[in-house]
């Protein structure tokens, strides 16, 4: 890869700053998410020496960067995984419990299905529970954090870029012909 040095520099200087504590970004307005996304887009343009007017989707796909909402989801789900497996800080682990572990809620149908109703709250327990509950049960039962993280990022990457990639491929095939 000819741009590996540039990617490493950008990851160290920009990408890590965008990802730092991004779980607090759960529920922020779209306008603020767009501002963060524009920082990542500019960083991708820098890596590829591309103009800002170029389509950014293929560049993000080539360096395997998730968009801001998916990055927030990854952070929330990883923290939820760590809380439920006993590797998170105690103050976070206390705030996140399985519904089936609460005696008064064991009889609820939602305890078995993994669903939880919320009131659009942006606090960590609610936001992480919503993100966690949206995952397939096969992900939730991953054997290790590394496996969980890899599978989660793969699924989020595919769901985020599959529609855009098919459009980009069609556009490239049109321009080549």
What pLDDT, in 10s, does the model give residues 21-45?
787 888 888 898 899 999 999 988 8
State the pLDDT at residue 133: 87
State the pLDDT at residue 176: 39
State the pLDDT at residue 13: 85
Contacts with 130 (C-beta within 8 Å, 6 or more apart), sequence order: 116, 118
Residue 12, Cα to own-chain centre: how many angstroms? 19
pLDDT < 50 regions, the chain: 1, 111-112, 115-120, 167-177
Helices (H), ranges, 11-144: 16-19, 30-48, 57-62, 68-84, 90-93, 109-113, 124-133, 137-140
State the pLDDT at residue 28: 84
The pTM of this model reads: 0.75
Which residue has 């800080």 as its token pair? 89
């Amino acid at each position: 890869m000819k741009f590996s040095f540039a990617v490493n520099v950008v990851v160290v200087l920009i990408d890590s700053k965008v990802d730092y504590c991004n779980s607090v970004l759960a529920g922020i307005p779209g306008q603020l998410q767009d501002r963060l996304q524009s920082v990542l887009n500019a960083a991708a343009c820098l890596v590829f020496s591309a103009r800002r007017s170029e389509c950014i989707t293929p560049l993000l796909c080539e360096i395997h960067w998730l968009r801001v909402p998916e990055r927030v989801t990854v952070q929330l789900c990883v923290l939820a995984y760590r809380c439920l497996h006993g590797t998170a800080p105690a103050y976070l682990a206390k705030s996140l419990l399985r519904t089936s572990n609460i005696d008064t809620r064991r009889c609820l149908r939602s305890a078995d299905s993994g669903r939880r109703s919320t009131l659009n709250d942006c606090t960590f327990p609610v936001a992480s529970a919503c993100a966690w509950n949206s995952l397939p049960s096969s992900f939730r039962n991953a054997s290790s954090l590394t496996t969980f993280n890899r599978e989660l990022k793969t699924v989020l990457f595919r769901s985020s870029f599959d529609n855009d990639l098919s459009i980009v491929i069609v556009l490239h095939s049109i321009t080549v012909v």
